Amino acid sequence: MTQETDATGLASEVSAASGDGVESDNRQFVIFVCGDEAFAVDMAPVQEIIRVPETVRVPLAPATLEGLANLRGQVLPIISLRRLFGFEERTSDDSSRALVIDQGQPLGFVVDRVNSVVAVEPSQIAEVGTLQATVDTELLSGLLKDVAGFPMVMVLDFARLIGTELATIAAQGAASALSASEDQAGDEEGAATDEVQLVSFEVEEQEYGIPIEDVQEIVQFPERIVHVPRSQSYVLGVMMLRSRLLPLVSLRSLFGLSPREPDEHSRIVVITLDAMAVGLVTDSVNEVLRVPLMAVDAMPELLSRDGALSEIPQICRLDGGERLVSIIATASLFQHSPIQEALKSVQEMQDQETATEVTEDEDSDDEEQVVVFRLDKEEFGVPIESVQEIVRVPDELTHVPKAPSFVEGVINLRGAVLPVIDQRRRLGLPDAERSDRQRIMVFLLDGTRTGFIVDSVAEVLKISKSAIEPAPALSEEQSRLIARVANLERDKRLIQLIEPSYLVADEDRARLAELGD
């Protein structure tokens, strides 16, 4: 789940908005559009702005939740502002963005488009008063007059919005913030927000930079590389880096520049891409730069549309403008399908090697073994010890008169009556036609064997405990049933972990026991 972030560009606009001639008491706002309305949010809680990511749907969650996304290893709830406000549904497109806002817990809010970042004078900020708006005026903290080409812009109070419309999330966020503050008591202060840190390097006498958070390390060009079959010329091959395969990409070739044999000055900048390491071959590496955001400009639109320059969204000006460093967006750099294919081949090779490295003396205490099953496109997991068995769904289920509505029917399982529940219906998902892939997973709930129909059983998987984290609390029922999520960033998978003891409510278990008898 890779997202292209607009965070650096956003910060550049903020710097521009707060430049010469702007009073110190001015406030910065992000202006965005949702439905037919223009809104603003104070810059303070806005962490970044990203393209709308792929999401994993969460059952039993509020209708406003699009799902969960993986943002650089962090599980991020994605919420539709259109649904929250009761606006007409609209499919996200290239203009849509998610505002990542932190009010104790990061949340992504999907908007139709982000207009600009502006500095607003106090005289342009008015109280809500008797405004007749399409949204609840209690969610507004003010109005902006004649800003960003709009005669009136409503300022959303996201703290109040989260506290009223998403109360469960707000409560969890407060608890998380308290825990985080205790854990970080001895940590250093956060990095300065008025500068960007870059690793700079040269390719054919032109200087480029990559944000330091994207760089894992810098290594020398190896004596030997292995060619990847059927790859383009700019995919040089793979090298071994501490017993791991590292694919190498030539920036010279990718940018259409003249080829040059690597020498003693050549360096490989190792970056992280979709949970996989990739090496960028450069002529030389210069230094690590700290660049003030006011020195970072967006690439002129006319140039950014053209070829290799589309991967260079920004340029920074140093030494009074005499030194220009082009900033590469690594996420855009590897959208080329030939590179994706080559990386996929390397990933398969690496997975095979990883499988052979597994030894018997691994510490199983650091892992949990779960049975993974699928409902629609989503993956769920249950502890392997909770599953008694897995059987095929018979051609017909026996329907019992006056049985609870949540019971699909019963089957004869080796002489015993087994109540069967449709897991889709239990989780509030749409019904599906019967298929050969469906299975019944049998659990023992308070001494009563109960079967749950799932779309398919995928695998038995060992998951490192370090990859398991608390699931965002989106509703009371969901937070009990799905309290944890396995974030397998390398495989781009989010597996929602179900607590089987909550699959059936306490008041319904007696009825199940009677049905089994």
Give the largest CA-CA distance in the chain. 85
C-alpha–C-alpha distance, residues 15 and 7, integer Å: 12
Per residue in 229-263, pLDDT (tens digit) is: 656 667 788 888 766 778 888 888 887 888 888 88
Read off the pLDDT of each residue in 261-272 and give the average, rounded to a whole number: 83
Looking at the predicted structure, is the pLDDT value of residue 138 above 60?
yes
CA dihedral 244, 249, 251, 252 (to 10 degrees): 120
CA 402/CA 303 separation, integer angstroms: 70
- Determine what percent of the chain is predicted with pLDDT higher than 70: 76
SS3 232: coil
pLDDT at 4: 45
50 has pLDDT over 70: yes
Task: Read off the pLDDT of residues 407-459 as tens digits, 9 standing for 90 and up.
Answer: 888 888 777 888 898 888 888 888 888 888 888 888 988 788 889 999 988 77
pLDDT of residue 230: 58
**Whether the domain at 195-356 and the domain at 364-516 fall into the same CATH topology:** yes
**Nearest Cα residue to 400 out of 416, 418, 423:** 418
For residue 461, give the amino acid letter. L
- How confident is the model over 257-277, as a mean pLDDT? 80
pLDDT tens by residue, 479-515:
888 889 999 887 788 999 999 888 887 777 777 777 6
Amino acid at 435: S
Torsions phi, psi for 277 (to 5 deg):
-85, 140
Give the mean model confidence (pLDDT) for residues 357-384.
75
Query: If we measure between CA atoms, which residue out of 67, 79, 97 comes closest to residue 494?
Result: 67
Structure confidence at residue 112 as a pLDDT band (50, 70, 90): very high
- Residue 355 predicted with pLDDT over 60: no
CATH class for the region spanning 195-356: mainly beta
In this predicted model, what pLDDT tens digit does every residue of 162-208 receive, in sequence order? 776 666 555 554 444 444 444 444 444 444 457 787 878 898 888 89
Q: DSSP string covering 281-348, please? A: EESEEEEEEEEEGGGEEEPPHHHHTSGGGGG--EEEEEGGGTEEEEEP-HHHHT--HHHHHHHHHHHH
Instruction: Quote the pLDDT of residue 361.
Output: 41
- CATH of range 364-516; options 3.40.50.300, 2.40.50.180, 2.70.180.20, 3.30.70.20: 2.40.50.180
Domain boundaries, the chain: 7-183, 195-356, 364-516
Torsion on CA atoms 15, 16, 21, 25, rounded to nearest 10: -40
Q: List the CATH code of the domain at 7-183.
A: 2.40.50.180
86: left (phi > 0), else alpha (psi -120 to 50), else beta?
A: left
By the 8 A CB rule, do 81 and 28 touch? no
Q: Does position 228 have pLDDT exceeding 50, yes or no?
A: yes
pTM above 0.75, yes or no: no
Cα distance between residue 100 and residue 50, in whole Å: 8
What is the distance between the alpha carbons of residues 318 and 323, in angstroms, rounded to a whole number?
5
For residue 359, what are its two tokens?
């030894």
